[in-house]
Amino acid sequence: MKDEYDLSKMKSRPNPYAKSLKKHVTLRMSPDVVEYFKKMAEETNIPYQSLINLYLRDCSASKRKLNMRWAP
């Protein structure tokens, strides 16, 4: 292996994984919802953020809609 490399001759190329990167967002969730997913994370040994992402992905894939009604 060389002691030094000349990186000025290196050509740039697009990141092939850029489309699959996750987007950073901030959500405000009720403490009981966070605790629910943290408890499930302990049981499944999957990080709770990943569980929330999996659940939302499932909702998106199945076109699930929330059935809610506002009180008059």
The answer to whether position 67 is within a domain reads: no
The answer to whether position 24 is within a domain reads: no
Distance CA(32)–CA(41), nearest Å, equals: 14
**What integer pLDDT is reported at residue 21 of this predicted model?**
87
The answer to whether position 43 is within a domain reads: yes
Distance CA(58)–CA(39), nearest Å, equals: 19
Instruction: Summarize pLDDT for 3-30 with one digit per residue, the tens.
Output: 888 888 888 888 888 888 888 899 999 9
Q: How many structural domains are present in the chain?
A: 1
Name 58's Cβ contacts closer than 8 Å, sequence gap at least 6: 64
Enclosing domain of residue 49: 29-62
The answer to whether position 47 is within a domain reads: yes
The pTM (predicted TM-score) of the whole model is 0.67
